[in-house]
Amino acid sequence: MTGRVGTAGRRLQRGRATSEIAHGIGANEANLTVHVPISFQQRGGRKTLVGPDGATAIPARTPHPGEHSAIIRALARAFRWRMLIETGVYATVRDVAKMEKINPSYVSRVLRLTLLAPEIIEAIADPSACSGASPALDRLMEPFPAEWHRQDCIMAR
């Protein structure tokens, strides 16, 4: 017996979402329509799915601010560059800067982030787990003490 798998699609009709699943087997074709009573509404400047009882069907995610993602990118670069230098792929900071086509002083400042205390890196990676605010990238790019026990000034600034 040969079967034909139908297509699944969604249509938006007057703010209501419907889902249609068409499934045909052999000569007997049957259509099954599933109606899901939800609507799209603006809440807090964002579109959300709202169920029939007025409750939000899918809770909105809180996006990370751009500054936080810049810190994460800088940390990722720092640890990647350190690994490349330690494994011998690049011999110096100048080699890294040349291959990345960026300023050597920037590479040096970013590499300094690998000296941060593990608690500070965890606070940056998961700001919800930390009671205080995560430091801004421009503060992290300034000189800081290499000793972990003296780095609490970074979080306090």
Overall average pLDDT of the 75-104 stretch: 95
> For residue range 24-50, what is the model confidence (pLDDT) as tens digits?
444 456 677 777 777 777 766 777 777
Q: Is the Cβ–Cβ distance between 50 and 38 less than 8 Å?
A: yes
DSSP at 65: P
Q: How far is CA 21 from CA 9, 72, 111, 136, in A?
A: 7, 42, 53, 49
pTM above 0.75, yes or no: no
Q: Which CATH class is domain 66-156?
A: mainly alpha
Domain ranges of the chain: 8-50, 66-156
**106 in Cβ contact with 141 (< 8 Å):** no
Residue pair 40/46 in contact by the 8 Å Cβ criterion: no
Question: H helices of the chain, where?
Answer: 66-86, 93-100, 104-111, 118-125, 137-140, 152-156
Q: Among 58-67, 122-131, 137-146, which is the least confidently predicted range?
A: 58-67
The predicted structure's pLDDT at residue 140:
78
